[in-house]
């Protein structure tokens, strides 16, 4: 009986971390690391893999936990979120969730710095810096600073989405960090607004109830759908950028496999976003939201496959 109770508590705290979010972010870090390793023919040690992946996982989980703690008041009102562990009082008092999040944040920083001992000090310091930036941007800038104050919240607060690919890249090499590494981070950063705006268009009444000024709440449905479509087009155009990036020796890092994958998957995303324009209702917005995560995953899979050819 005690074992069942213990497992239940683990499940509740696991749910608190929003695993569906950090799964994808960890995958982008994995994709960046494998892509870098294949381009430069660098072998990644098992310990480096573990430090990198677990630092991103714990850091992302920490950010989600601490933003859940901060948003517990509005989460208790919104239909979509009132069943979460804190508002449903499955974790009570709420300070337990805050402490859990702080421990995860500390673990993520320690693990990131641990990369210094399996690669170089410079790589470990950069990995730690990217983890710290991600935590500060997501928790302080987005959740505490902008979410309830500005329609630009998800744009300025979504920069942290680019941290996992940067961590994955520096865990392997510092070469071309600010070209290909940054391009992979940019894929995530530019993807985030479209992903979130599609979700908030679907649940706009929830956000209205709690006076959170998401773009889809403060703008008309028509304007919001056009902005979502426009951001999708920008995202698709940017997704082609890695095809044009060259190594220091003048060779392309990825080739036609990635290019045509980006074009084909991007065409699908643009098509769905156009549907949102002409019929900006719950079903269309929800469809765009549901397709957006697989779309990002497909881009990173194509990068990994193409860089290994």
Query: Could you please report the per-residue DSSP string of the chain?
Result: -HHHHHHHHHHHHHHHT-HHHHHHHHHHHHHHHHHHHHHHT-PPPHHHHHHHHHHHHHHHHHHHHHHHHHTHHHHTTSTTTTTSTTTTTSS-STHHHHHHHHHHHHHHHHHHHHGGGTS-HHHHHHHHHHHHHHHIIIIIIIIIIITTT-TTHHHHTTGGGGHHHHHHHHTT-STTIIIIIHHHHHHHHHHHHHHHHHHHHHTHHHHHHTT---HHHHS-HHHHHHHHHHHHHHHHHHHTGGGG-B-TTS-BSS-HHHHHHHHHHHHHHHHHHHHHHHS-SHHHHHHHHHHHHHHHHHHHHHHHHHHT-
- Per-domain residue ranges of the chain: 1-175, 176-309
Report pLDDT for 38.
97
Report pLDDT for 247.
87
Report pLDDT for 5.
52
Report pLDDT for 293.
97
Mean pLDDT, to the nearest integer, of 37-66?
97
pLDDT surpassing 60 at residue 216: yes
CATH homologous superfamily, domain 1-175: UbiA prenyltransferase (1.10.357.140)
pLDDT in tens, 75-102: 999 999 999 999 999 999 999 999 999 9
The pLDDT > 70 percentage for the chain reads 97
pLDDT surpassing 50 at residue 1: no
pLDDT in tens, 227-264: 999 999 999 999 999 999 998 888 899 999 999 999 99
The DSSP secondary structure of 168-212, one letter per residue, reads HHHTT-STTIIIIIHHHHHHHHHHHHHHHHHHHHHTHHHHHHTT-
End-to-end CA distance of the chain: 53
- Split at pLDDT 50, 70, 90, the class of 103 is very high
- Split at pLDDT 50, 70, 90, the class of 7 is low
Tokens, residue 126: 């950069």
The pLDDT > 90 percentage for the chain reads 91
Question: CB count, 10 Å around CB of 42?
Answer: 13
Report pLDDT for 249.
81
pLDDT in tens, 129-176: 999 999 999 999 999 999 999 999 999 999 999 999 999 999 999 999
pLDDT surpassing 90 at residue 283: no
pLDDT surpassing 60 at residue 2: no
Report pLDDT for 3.
45
CA gap 106, 73 in Å, rounded: 25
- Split at pLDDT 50, 70, 90, the class of 309 is confident
- Split at pLDDT 50, 70, 90, the class of 280 is low
pTM: 0.95
Report pLDDT for 116.
98
State the average pLDDT for the chain. 94
């Amino acid at each position: 009986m005690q074992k069942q109770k213990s497992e239940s508590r683990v499940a509740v705290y696991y749910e608190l971390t929003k695993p569906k979010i950090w799964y994808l972010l960890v995958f982008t870090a994995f994709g960046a690391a494998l892509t870098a390793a294949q381009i430069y023919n660098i072998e990644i040690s098992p310990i480096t893999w573990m430090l990198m992946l677990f630092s991103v996982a714990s850091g992302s989980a920490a950010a989600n936990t601490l933003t859940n703690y901060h948003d517990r008041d509005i989460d208790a009102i919104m239909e979509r979120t009132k069943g979460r562990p804190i508002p449903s009082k499955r974790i009570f008092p709420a300070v337990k969730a805050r402490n859990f999040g702080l421990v995860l944040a500390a673990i993520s920083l320690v693990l990131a710095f641990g990369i210094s001992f399996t690669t170089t000090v410079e790589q470990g310091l950069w990995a730690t810096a990217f983890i710290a930036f991600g935590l500060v941007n997501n928790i302080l800038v987005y959740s505490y600073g902008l979410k309830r104050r500005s329609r630009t919240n998800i744009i300025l607060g979504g920069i942290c989405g680019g941290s996992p690919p940067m961590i994955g890249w520096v865990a392997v090499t510092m070469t071309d960090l600010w070209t290909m590494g940054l391009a992979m981070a940019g894929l995530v950063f530019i993807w985030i607004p479209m992903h979130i705006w599609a979700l908030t268009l679907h649940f706009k009444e929830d956000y209205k109830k709690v006076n959170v000024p998401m773009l889809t709440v403060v703008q008309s449905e028509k304007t919001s759908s056009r902005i979502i479509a426009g951001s999708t087009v920008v995202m698709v155009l940017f997704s082609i950028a890695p095809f044009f990036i060259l190594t220091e020796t003048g060779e392309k890092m990825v080739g036609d496999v990635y290019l045509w994958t980006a074009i084909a998957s991007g065409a699908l995303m643009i098509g769905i976003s156009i549907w949102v324009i002409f019929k900006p209702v719950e079903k269309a917005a929800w469809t765009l939201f549901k397709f957006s995560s697989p779309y990002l995953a497909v881009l990173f899979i194509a990068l990994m496959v193409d860089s290994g050819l």
